[in-house]
Chains A and B, each alone.
Chain A
């Protein structure tokens, strides 16, 4: 196996562990590259196309390298009712990209997620896992400005 994915060996190589393996790769690399697909396939005894099939089925997996700051805008029911489409629009206005995209400098990437489970603070988004709730335009711009300066 290619040296860079050696850490897969911490998991037993049974096919049932494929999803765990891919999660491990994503947590290390931030996304699942073509090389990673081949490496995972070889290790868990699956063909690359089977690995690709699993990858595309689950929304968690990214095939594109994400930015340094990963923005997840919640579009769960509660957030939607509280105006999450506007939050997405405002994020696009502030940093110029929408769900599924990474900006040219590799600084920000945006995704729309089903539910962060903080419905009572709707509308919410998270940046690198830190959740920001009760967003309005001003608060959103303040937060994004903070990250732009980092």
Chain B
């Protein structure tokens, strides 16, 4: 007898919903006689909406890019062959899914489902141990902070545990601010209980009494799922320890990149402007309202239940000498399979970008790690293993795990300008070097991309960069020049072309580009004429480049791809 469908799982995290998963879910629910369970993200964002049919023999059939029309729903119900999905082989062999193992498997807001899959076993084990033994176990695991800094987590826990005061605070930093990173969102949306279990274990180990989750307001689903999970924890009294009751509070951030910095985050929690302050005193000495406060990142907490389940030594068996365990990366940009990937520490960039991301080696120029605080790493250096220390030697950082693949048709000067545009606006304004320095650096990059740059501008960028780094109090200013310095280091040629030859080889900077209509491909459909907002396309199908704003609308609507960007002045 053929296996029958036991139930369906459908990914309804933010990416899935944006791709239309809710419509598919309601159509499927109406048509199916078996349960349809909404789950989190399995990391294959390019395949959303993703439906998994779980069969009664325990196996599963996946369907990708499912649409909500009748034909496709019928195809799902009869286990048809259309839209079947399997994980690309090259990717499967490189991944090691541990932290994300339950993402996409359990209903995020179903407490029992999480427990059935081994949830809260780590907490149970921890409660059977003495707090200092738990801290010891985390030290043995070699876990380092996943938010970017890479500080040994066990040591941080030890600092807080050593404080002998009745009230202590733990904060989960879920203010995932660097554009291009979405690991923390996926964890909170898909397995909120796992993050909270990690926090409860930390609370037991360190004697904390109050737990905060400081989450970006831009993540409404994460806030909803974590809030629901907190209520379930209260209902099951998991926050009640033998000697005390722990309070768990979720707070929504209000949109400030700098609040990823510890002391700025604490100021924001206190309802103030999120400006960092001088350290020492370190938060573990004096943090939220003067209480000893420890801040860990979402993914760090997501790792903790595994350590307590399998033991610190087993956890440390994966990874490199200085970086243990796995790391989740958010892959985006110019590649075939954007999404989340979890790999052992020490996996090379080549494996992540090409084998997992499916990027075309001929079309990749660089990868940007660590968002606006990181640096770009050129394709020639892709054999670099990804761990905290190797990346730092290249002027990049691990950051929280955002990885943007930059294609050969992107301009590196423009990329640097983009990052400085972000950081100069996000600078809180406290330190002069950061406030004024990043603004000046941004203006210089604007000048260069607009065609008005000079040789002196390049020298000035190189002079300003290290000064901004040295003169800033917090991580924002200390890393803001990185994208500029890294691109200057690896792609100086492109900068020089902009200032000396007035040329942008990627044809991205508008100042150095004309639009050209190839008459031999044109079918005279007039779509370009109708679309052009400034009337730059004449009735004779030529483009008047003195009127054209290079908005690319014509090129985008042209059905024959007859319009292209060319170097300025090309005849």
Please give the residue numbers on chain A whose beta carbons come within 8 Å of chain B beta carbons, in ascending order.
Answer: 15-20, 22-23, 44, 53-54, 57-61, 75-83, 86, 89-90, 93, 113-122, 124, 129, 131-133, 136-138
Question: B217 on the interface (CB 8 Å rule)?
Answer: yes
Say whether B428 contacts A57, CB under 8 Å. yes
Contact among A44, A113, A137 for B271, CB-based, below 8 A: A44
Closest to B553 in A: A137
- A138 shortest CB reach to chain B, Å: 7
* A93 surroundings in chain B (CB, below 8 A): 533, 551, 553
Say whether A78 contacts B179, CB under 8 Å. yes
Residue of A54, A80, A129 with most partner-chain B CB within 10 A: A80
- A45 shortest CB reach to chain B, Å: 10
- The complex places the Cα of A116 from the Cα of B182 at a distance, in Å, of 9
Please give the residue numbers on chain B whose beta carbons come within 8 Å of chain A beta carbons, in ascending order.
Answer: 14-15, 17-19, 45-46, 48, 176-182, 185, 217-220, 251-257, 268-275, 289, 330-334, 338-339, 368, 371-372, 402, 404, 406-407, 410, 415, 418-419, 422, 428, 531, 533, 549, 551-553, 556-557
Known: A53-B273, A120-B339, A122-B332. A77 touches B19 (CB 8 A): no
Residue of A79, A86, A114, A129 with most partner-chain B CB within 10 A: A114
* A81 surroundings in chain B (CB, below 8 A): 333-334, 404, 406-407, 410, 415
Number of A-B contacts (CB under 8 A): 150
Contacts A78-B404, A119-B182 known; 9 new A-B pairs at CB < 8 A:
A57-B273, A59-B256, A78-B333, A81-B407, A81-B415, A90-B553, A93-B551, A115-B180, A137-B531
Say whether B556 contacts A121, CB under 8 Å. no
Contact among B18, B177, B253, B531 for A118, CB-based, below 8 A: B18
Say whether A89 contacts B551, CB under 8 Å. yes
* A22 surroundings in chain B (CB, below 8 A): 254
User: Can you list 8 A-B contacts (CB < 8 A)?
Assistant: A15-B271, A20-B252, A60-B253, A76-B180, A78-B332, A117-B185, A118-B45, A137-B557
* A115 surroundings in chain B (CB, below 8 A): 177-182, 218
Known: A16-B271, A78-B404. A121 touches B15 (CB 8 A): yes
- B288 shortest CB reach to chain A, Å: 9
Say whether B410 contacts A61, CB under 8 Å. no
